[in-house]
Amino acid sequence: MGRWEPNARERLETAALELYSDRGYEQTTVAEIATCAGLTERTFFRHYADKREVLFANSGEFQELFVRAVAEALTSAAPIDALAAGLDAISEMLAGQRDFVRARQAVIMANPELQERDLIKTAAISAALADTLRRHGITEPAASLAAEAGIAVFKVGFQRWIVADEDHDLSRVMRESLDELKAVTAGGQDAT
Amino acid sequence: MGRWEPNARERLETAALELYSDRGYEQTTVAEIATCAGLTERTFFRHYADKREVLFANSGEFQELFVRAVAEALTSAAPIDALAAGLDAISEMLAGQRDFVRARQAVIMANPELQERDLIKTAAISAALADTLRRHGITEPAASLAAEAGIAVFKVGFQRWIVADEDHDLSRVMRESLDELKAVTAGGQDAT
DNA sequence: CTGTTGATGTCAGTTGCTGTCATCAACAGT
DNA sequence: ACTGTTGATGACAGCAACTGACATCAACAG
C-alpha cells in the first residue's frame, strides 16, 4: 500500500506501553514513543488525540462488545440479568489477554492523568449501556442506575481479578460481585 | 497580614468560573484568569495544581461532609442506610448553592477535560466511602460495591436535580433514586 | 505517462506548567 | 529602633504537549 512500514498504530501502542512501563508515563515524551516506533512526534498526534489516548485504542471495541451482549440479552431477560450477560461477554474477552491487561492497568494505576482517562472511558460505556436500556423500554432513572450498577460490578470485579495472585476466573468473580451488590442494596430498612 | 489584597484564591476561583462560562474553558488562558484576579500566571499555579483544579477547590470539604455523615450513621444503621444518610447530608449542603452549582456544572459538562477531573474527584469519594465502610467492619467486596452504589445514586440524583426546570427537592430526588436502584438490583432471576 | 491520493516529515507557534531567583511588607526578637 | 526571618508574590527562562500550514513522494487510477 503506502510507501512506509505498515502497522504504524500497532508500533506506536507497543512502544508507548513499553516506555510507560519502564520509565513511567510522565518521564516518557511523545517524541521518544514516536522515534521508538520509527515515526515522528507529529505522526503520533495524527493517530491519537493526545499522549493518553494511545493506551485506550481498543476501548471502542470493548464498549461495543459490552453493549451488544446486553442488547441481545435484553430481548428475553430483566435489565440486571442482561447486564450480567454483558459482564460475562467482556470477561471472556479479557480472560485471554490477562498479561497485557495487567501491564496496561499497572501503568494506568501509577498515574492520575491516565486514571482520569480510564474513568471517562468507563463513563462513556455507562452512558451507552443506559442508552441501550432506554431503547428497550426501561425508563429513567432506572436505566441510568442499572447501567451504573453494572459498571460498579465491573470495576470491583475487574480490580479483584487484576490484583489476584492466582488465576481466578474473571467470569466467576464478576458473578460473585454482582451477587454482593444485590445483597448490599437489599439490606437495610425497606423504603417507605 | 500580607502586603497584598487578601482572598487571592477566592478571586481566582470567581474569575475562572466567569471566564470559563463566558468564553469557554479552552478559550480561556491561565494568564487571563490571573490578570482578571489581579495576579500573575505563576501565582495561579502556586494555588492550584493545574487549570482544571480551580473549579474543584471545595471537593475536599464535600468529601469530608459525605464521609462523616456516613461514618456517624454506620454506628446504628446498615451500610445502605448509612449511605442514604450521607446522601441526605450532602443534599442539604448543595441545596443552598443551587445557582452556583448549576453554573459550575454547565462549565464542566461542556468540556471533557473537566469531566475527567470531576470523575476522579468522585472516584476519590467512592474510595473514601469504601474505606469508611471497611473501618466499620464491612468486608470486601461489599464495602467497595456499597460505596459505588452510593456514588451511582448521587450521580443520577444530582444530574436529575441539575436539569430539572422546577425546584425539585434534592433530598427527595436522592431518596427516589436510591429506591430505584434497590428495585432494579432486586429484579431478575435470583442468584444461584 | 500523468494527475491524484494519503500517510508522513518539517517547522514554527501557542499554551500549560515548572524551577529559580528576586522583592518586600509584616512580624519577632533583641 | 534595628535586624533577621517569613511568606506570598513577581519576573524570567525553559520544557513538553499539542496544532496549523505546507512540502514530500510512493502508490494507484486512468
Q: Indicate yes or no: CB of A80 within 8 angstroms of CB of B156.
A: no
Of A158, A95, A88, A98, nearest in space to A122 by CA: A158
Q: Which CATH architecture has domain B8-54?
A: Orthogonal Bundle (1.10)
CATH (residue range A58-185): 1.10.357.10
Residues in contact with A137: Cβ distance below 8 Å, sequence separation at least 6, in sequence order:
none
Report CA(B31)–C1'(C1) in Å, whole number.
57
pLDDT digit string, tens, across residues B33-65:
999 999 999 999 999 999 999 999 999 999 999
- When pLDDT is averaged across residues B159-177 and rounded to a whole number, the result is 91
Question: By CB neighbour count within 10 A (0-12 exposed, 13-18 middle, 19+ buried), where does A72 fall?
Answer: middle
User: Which residues 70-89 of A have a C-beta within 8 angstroms of B?
Assistant: 77-81, 84
Report CA(B116)–C1'(D28) in Å, whole number.
44
pLDDT at B6: 78
Q: Indicate yes or no: CB of A183 within 8 angstroms of CB of B112.
A: no
pLDDT at A2: 62
- pTM of the predicted model as reported, rounded to 2 decimal places: 0.95
Instruction: List per-residue pLDDT tens for chain A, 192 residues long.
Output: 567 777 999 999 999 999 999 999 999 999 999 999 999 999 999 999 999 999 999 999 999 999 999 999 999 999 999 999 999 999 999 999 999 999 999 999 999 999 999 999 999 999 999 999 999 999 999 999 999 999 999 999 999 999 987 778 999 999 999 999 999 999 777 766
Say which nucleotide is closest to residue B52, CA to C1' distance.
Answer: C16
pLDDT at B192: 60
Of B157, B10, B11, B29, nearest in space to B94 by CA: B157
Nearest CA-CA distance, residue B4 and chain A, Å: 34
pLDDT at A166: 72
Our CA dihedral for A170, A174, A179, A183, rounded to 10 degrees, sits at 120
Domain parsing of chain A, residue ranges: 8-54, 58-185
Residue A150 cell numbers, joined: 453494572
Report CA(A42)–C1'(C13) in Å, whole number.
14
